[in-house]
Copies of this chain bind each other. A is one copy, B any other.
Amino acid sequence: MQRGQESPDAVRIRTLPVQVAAHLTRRIVSGDIEDGRAPSELDISQEFGVSRVVARETLKILASLDIVDVAQGRRVVVRPRAEWDYLSPLLIEWLPTEIVGELLQELHQMRVLLEPELAAMAAASITEETLDRLKTELDRMSALEADPDAYLEVDHEFHMEICRAADNRILDRIMYSARWLGTASRRITNEAPAGLCRATAEHAEIYEALVARDPEGARAAMRRHLSNNYSTLIEEKGKQTKRAARRR
């Protein structure tokens, strides 16, 4: 009766163009398609047995990720990998885990640079309503420590709330992309978040600094939080590497 209750792990059915784009991207990454020459609409429709419409939308998707260049009359060309849109969760899903792992660290590096400043900015201009919402989320988090997935949902919302309070659409957009990136990569690596208990305490510290409208305090609290995050990230990566090594 009630709809819209998709479980987080629900295998979302993706459209044909997305599936084909995933295949092609993986082939490009693996070096199966030589740089500079990508298949045309006709090639794609024949090889994958789809209509030209689907082949066309596939190329549009790849173009929107800056993976290829498409123009009328010209052949499709693969763009340099350095220019691909690594902020897109779609692309991240298609990349091999070792690259995703690297990107995760680079993502964290970005968060370390931005989030403490965002917290400081937020402390200067945060509203009572936002503080109320943060408090609510704080309570929900401490109640959800047994359910990592649900916890992470609220965790992200907590961080995004602070980001929004900083009142900068560019920075907000960046963190919004980062949020999806984080969940996408977590889905790939299937990595269990650790240290939820500690995280809650750290969130509380950030909240207190915001309530006090103390930019320095908020910056410092956020910085502590992220540096703790980083250690667990590294630990988890270590475990993964070991697991991967054992599998060989």
Q: Give per-residue flags for A154-179: 1 if the beta carbon is below 8 A from chain B beta carbons, else 0.
A: 00000000001000111111101110
Picked from B83, B102, B106, the residue with its CB within 8 Å of the CB of A176 is: B83
Least distance between A13 CB and chain B CB atoms (Å): 9
- Inter-chain CA distance A60–B178, complex, in Å, is 21
Q: Give per-residue flags for A94-116: 1 if the beta carbon is below 8 A from chain B beta carbons, else 0.
A: 00000000110011011001100
* Interface residue tally for chain A (C-beta within 8 Å): 30
A174 touches B110 (CB 8 A): yes
Which chain B residue has the least Cβ–Cβ distance from A85?
B173
Q: Which residues of B contact A110 (CB under 8 A)?
A: 168, 170-171, 174
Which chain B residue has the least Cβ–Cβ distance from A81?
B169
B57 touches A87 (CB 8 A): no
- Inter-chain CA distance A168–B104, complex, in Å, is 11
- Inter-chain CA distance A51–B31, complex, in Å, is 38
Any chain B CB within 8 A of the CB of A117? yes
- Inter-chain CA distance A103–B109, complex, in Å, is 24
Q: Which residues of B contact A244 (CB under 8 A)?
A: none
Which chain B residue has the least Cβ–Cβ distance from A112?
B117
Most buried by B among A83, A84, A164, A174: A174
Given A103-B170, A170-B103, A170-B110: A164 touches B117 (CB 8 Å cut-off):
no
Q: Which residues of B contact A178 (CB under 8 A)?
A: 170
Any chain B CB within 8 A of the CB of A207? no
Give the top 10 A-B pairs by smallest Cβ distance, nearest first.
A106-B170, A106-B168, A86-B169, A110-B170, A86-B173, A107-B170, A64-B64, A113-B117, A87-B173, A110-B171
Which A residues lie at the B interface, using CB under 8 A? 53, 57, 60, 64, 82-87, 102-103, 106-107, 109-110, 113-114, 117, 164, 168-174, 176-178
